[in-house]
Amino acid sequence: YFDSRLLSYIYTLVIMIPHLIHLGFFCPSTHVDSDRLWNIGCKPFVGVTINSQILTANSPIENHLTEGDVFVSATRSANICTDCRWPKSSGLVQVPYTLSDSFSSSDKVTIEKAIEEFHLSTCVRFVPRILQTSYVSIVKGEGCFSEVGRTGSPQTLSLGAGCINNGIIQHELLHALGFWHEQNRSDRDIYVEIHSDNIEDGRQDFSKNGRETITPIISTAAIGQRVGMTENDILKVNKLYSCRKANGHL
């Protein structure tokens, strides 16, 4: 007996390379249940991935981060938070934020465009902070990093040198919304094999010997990404926050 959905799932889904959450190619012709979505490799890619860009930017501060670009404050554990979603009102999720004046005008435009995609595709709304005590402070710090989910107090999302890229910005915003990296999923080993012996200590996804650190179980599957959110990412956000329609309108 075979579950056709499971077969479809196995033959079409792959996860990202370590530290590259959610972002991948999507094959719209293949239906997969939204609660089982992973990234789908539709075509090969040759070039620099978001993952590599983030780790390069974070090289000077790697010892202060977990999983390459996740910041965990001294008062908060690194365990996945089960109640860190942003509040929802009248069908919309409000995420207050501030944008540092240290960014150039062109940087601000790039950041706002990356934010706008969430508004167009999900019920999440990043709104300018007024008096809220819990908000995302987007700063031009050292490296690209974010805390995961709502912390209940001001939380930093850094977009430093090398981080002003649509895909990287959305990657960090997804962290702020509550998403951890895909390689932490409990069913990871169904889809990829992690080669722990090849992983360099510290930055847990650069090879220490030139060999691969992660390979898809289905050898022809493509992994890695470099552009921005996929349809899968959008579906996951809408599922996490129970958006009734993609644009947030009831």
Binding-site positions read: 171, 175, 181
Whether 31 is in a domain gets the answer yes
In angstroms, what CA-CA distances link 237 with 35, 39, 126, 175, 229?
Answer: 11, 14, 13, 11, 10
- Select which of 116, 117, 147, 172 is catalytic: 172
Binding-site positions for Zn(2+) read: 171, 175, 181
Residue 233: the pLDDT is 87
Contact by Cβ (8 Å): 204, 18: yes
CATH number at residue 109: 3.40.390.10
Residue 203: the pLDDT is 39
The yes-or-no answer on residue 182 being catalytic is no
- Both tokens of 35, joined, read 């609660």
Q: How many domains does the chain have?
A: 1
C-alpha 60/C-alpha 66 separation (Å) is 14
> pLDDT of the chain along its 250 residues, tens only?
444 444 333 333 333 333 333 333 333 333 333 333 333 333 333 445 556 666 666 555 555 555 555 555 544 433 455 568 999 999 999 999 999 999 999 999 999 999 999 999 999 999 999 999 999 999 999 888 898 899 999 999 999 988 999 999 999 999 999 887 654 444 444 445 555 565 444 434 444 455 554 555 555 544 555 578 888 889 999 999 999 865 544 4
Residue 60: domain span: 4-240
Whether 117 is in a domain gets the answer yes
C-alpha 27/C-alpha 14 separation (Å) is 12
Whether 152 is in a domain gets the answer yes
Strand 214-216 versus strand 192-194 pairing type: antiparallel
